[in-house]
Amino acid sequence: MTDLSTRLSTRVRRAAPALLGYAAVRVLGLLVLALWSAARDKSAYTLLTARWDALWYTRVAELGYGYEVRLPNGDVHSNLAFFPLLPWLERGLHAVTPLSYADAGFLVAVLASLAAAWGIFAVTDLVYGRRAGICAVLLWAVLPVGIVQSMAYSESLFTALAAWALYAVLTGRWPTAGALALLAGLTRPVGLAVVAAVWAAGIASFVRDRSAAPGDSARSPGRAPSPTGGPAPRGASAARRALGMLLAPLGAAGYVLWVGHRTGQGPLGYLDVQAGWRNGFDGGYAFARFVAEKFTSFPSALAGVGLITGVALVVWLYVVCVRQGQPLPLLVYAGVVTALALCASSYFGSKPRLLLPAFPLLLPLALALARLRTRRSVLVLGLVAVASAAYGAFWLNGSGPP
């Protein structure tokens, strides 16, 4: 117990600057949101906990599945589209505390966002060092849609599970990685990205084991996979890898199969539920058409240029990640999250929010910031944090995330 507490204390101290900086950015965002909302005679807390998807999650927590809304155009919005882990946590907290379902959702978001920040630090610190880890966390905090991290949404919870699953893979903790991937798969459809990362790393390590000389494994019987995807030990470790890979898809697969059974539509019934929301995966065709339509008039053409620039930036960052030789699990995870976000056929305004969990895309920027003098990097991050806080307040008091 003493050794465990010592290790935990050491890790907390190492991550403390990142976590304190993250908390400061989030407090700034909430403060600006509160002031902005008060000036518009709105409740900032309501915007964070009782609007848009947050309402759907609390309805699932309170009433279970089965609620749906039929729109005049014939579309059916079913709450089966929302994965169950966040509502389960809201229901559990409500049962054991005086918190309402909405309050519980906000508490989960706050705690999960801190866990996500710590996970992002742990991954980046492992691969690129402490200074880059601090910069990565702060960059994630100051994203333009960073206010979502404090909303009763599932993005923070998912990012926390994904980041720690990736850390577990990189450090050879395969059953832990599989269990976290299972939970991520119960949180959002993009949990498939975590499953893909675990499986890609597992398959690569088995292939390397098979091609490695027997003497190599014997010389390092307890060695875990390196962050760059080096060979893992044979024997019991191979069994643990297999266990992690088997656990990883059970969450997403279990929920999707349950929805298919409940709706009577078979194994792919969840896709029908998503179709009721006019959402699906079309390879980006609908998004490309949406962008093209922006060029029909001059004012909207500026928005079209902005969208193209944003997509180009995301693609460029991913290419840089590949060129920098990021570990395979990070590349697979970020690639799948990005593809699912950009190639969804609806809710185009949500794409920045859907990209929020793709934190490995920020690592090239984190490395660049880490090379600057501390005073300069603090100035850059401080200015961006203020802009992000203002944008978040403006956004939630306007159209907000759909």
Give the pLDDT band of residue 239 (cuts 50, 70, 90): very high
pLDDT at 153: 97
Q: Give the CA radius of gyration of the chain.
A: 22
Q: What is the pLDDT of residue 2?
A: 72
Mean pLDDT of the chain: 91
**If DSSP codes are grouped into helix, strand and coil, which group holds residue 190?**
coil
Output the pLDDT for position 219. 38
Question: What are the structure tokens assigned to 206, written together?
Answer: 């088995």
Question: Tens digit of pLDDT for each residue in 300-336?
Answer: 888 888 889 999 999 999 999 999 999 999 999 999 9
Query: What are the pLDDT digits (tens) for 44-58?
Result: 999 999 999 999 999
- The pLDDT assigned to 213 comes to 54
Task: State mean pLDDT over 359-387.
Answer: 96
Whether the pLDDT of residue 298 is over 80: the answer is no
Tell me, what's the pLDDT at 223?
Answer: 37
Task: Report DSSP state, residue 188.
Answer: -
- Binned at pLDDT 50, 70 and 90, residue 1 comes out as low
Query: Is residue 236 predicted with pLDDT exceeding 60?
Result: no
- Residue among 79, 166, 180 nearest 124 (CA): 166
pLDDT at 279: 87
| Domain ranges, ordered by start, for the chain | 17-211+230-279+364-396
- Of all residues in the chain, the percent with pLDDT exceeding 90 is 76
DSSP state of 229: -
Whether the per-residue pLDDT at 281 is higher than 90: the answer is no
Model confidence at 214, pLDDT cuts 50, 70, 90, reads low
Residue with tokens 């498939």: 192
Q: Average of pLDDT values for 137-153?
A: 97
Q: What is the pLDDT of residue 229?
A: 47
Min mean pLDDT across 90-104, 142-156, 264-278, 368-382 is at: 264-278
Q: Which among 397, 360, 396 is positioned nearest to 139, based on CA atoms?
A: 360
Chain CA centroid to CA 2, Å: 33
Rounded Cα distance, 151 and 248, in Å: 27
